[in-house]
Amino acid sequence: MAKESLFEGALRQFNKAADLLKLDGGMREVLSTHKRELTVHFPVKMDDGSVRVFTGYRFQHNITRGPAKGGIRYHPNVSEDEIKTLSFLMTWKCAVAGIPFGGSKGGIKVDPTELSESELERLSRRYFSEISIIVGPTEDVPAPDVNTNGKIMSWFLDTYSMNVGHSTLGIVTGKPLELGGSLGRSEATGRGVSIIANEASKYFLGDEIKGKTVAVQGFGNVGSFTALILEQTYGAKVVAISDITGGYYNPEGINVKEAFDYATANKSLEGYNKAQKITNEELLELDVDVLIPAALERAITAENADKVRAKIIVEAANGPTTPEADEILNSKGIKIVPDFLSNSGGVTVSYFEWVQGLYSYFWDLENVRSALEKIMKGAFKDSVDMLEEQKTDMRTASYMVAINKVATATRLRGIFP
């Protein structure tokens, strides 16, 4: 039997929610079909004078509620299936948060660590020139993702602006502050996950996350800020963290700021001696109140789901739980807050950045954080209301909220001509 693709898995979860919404066949087809799928093959001159051809993608799933929005990743495993799935999920992420964007995603199949700085710049500029036929501040607004950052967004901004003849701050988000970036953007996804984790604790466990045990798998941007904010702002007891070097567990609690500074100075957690070394797999099986998978897709599968003991899972990574694992966890009574709800803080502050860029009027950090908290809490409440109304699981409820918003917008706009 052929292995289910990422997109097939996402469609299965979409259809579960669509069934409960009693979505008709035509609307279901519209909402499950991508509007545009662009694949580009482009040459880049290398430092030694040779030329290599790279493959890149930019997929737009749905733009009914506004411009498409989604990151661009550089990774050797970038594939059509991955980009197709992530652009699909971005539609629901924007909709569940109430952000007036649709979903898109892009990427280049490349290992950026093998490129020099100048090769990386030429690759980035050529790729952005290639996809510029479908992107723009009112059409599709890219952002950083895996292995891309503010520097690369700056090259994208400059490439687009040079081609149109004027600076266009709204063309990408995740930019440096000096080029129209937003305060609070680097912490945004982690802060959003933290807000949702606290709301989930209040709803499912009866009170705030203060003093409750938390394990965070992944200590990149999202995982590290999530752990830091949960500890410092919400008073949670973070007992385990991990990165590519393995897991680090201390039942008495980890000083996350200390671990954060250590990882920043040493480029990883390798050698961190204030906690017991465990594997990433063992971290997932710890007996904690809240588990936050913030690393890679498919971390929790049918093979290990039965060993998970957390009361709540708040998905910070994209697609960390397979559909099969979902069923096992739900049968055990473990509450799962889906990725496209819990990690929507990043796209929310990207939306703020886009608005600031269009107006050339920039907010202070307090305004960014306050507006983010309001949106995240509202999105969680909408999903909980649907959960209670439909007597279903949280993922399906969040899908139903998002799908209903896009379906309603589609009906209101009608089919042209």
Catalytic residues: 105
CA dihedral over 276, 277, 280, 282, signed as positive or negative: negative
Distances (CA, A) of 41 to 57, 60, 332, 356: 9, 18, 47, 34
Q: Show Cβ contacts of residue 253 under 8 Å, excluding neighbours closer than 6 positions.
A: 237, 238, 239
Instruction: Provide φ and ψ at 14, rounded to 5°.
Output: -60, -45
**With contact defined as beta carbons under 8 Å apart, do 101 and 87 qualify?**
no
Distance CA(397)–CA(393), nearest Å, equals: 6
In three state form, how does the secondary structure of the chain look?
CCCCCHHHHHHHHHHHHHHHHCCCHHHHHHHHCCCEEEEEEEEEECCCCCEEEEEEEEEEEECCCCCEEEEEEEECCCCHHHHHHHHHHHHHHHHHHCCCCEEEEEEEECCHHHCCHHHHHHHHHHHHHHHCCCCECCCEEEEECCCCCHHHHHHHHHHHHHHHCCCCHHHCCCCCHHHCCCCCCCCHHHHHHHHHHHHHHHHHHCCCCCCCEEEEECCCHHHHHHHHHHHHCCCCEEEEEEECCEEEECCCCCCHHHHHHHHHHHCCCCCCCCCEEECHHHHHCCCCCEEEECCCCCCECCCCHHHCCCCEEECCCCCCECHHHHHHHHHCCCEEECHHHHCCHHHHHHHHHHHHHHHCCCCCHHHHHHHHHHHHHHHHHHHHHHHHHHCCCHHHHHHHHHHHHHHHHHHHHCCCC
Q: How many CB atoms lie within 10 A of CB 325?
A: 22
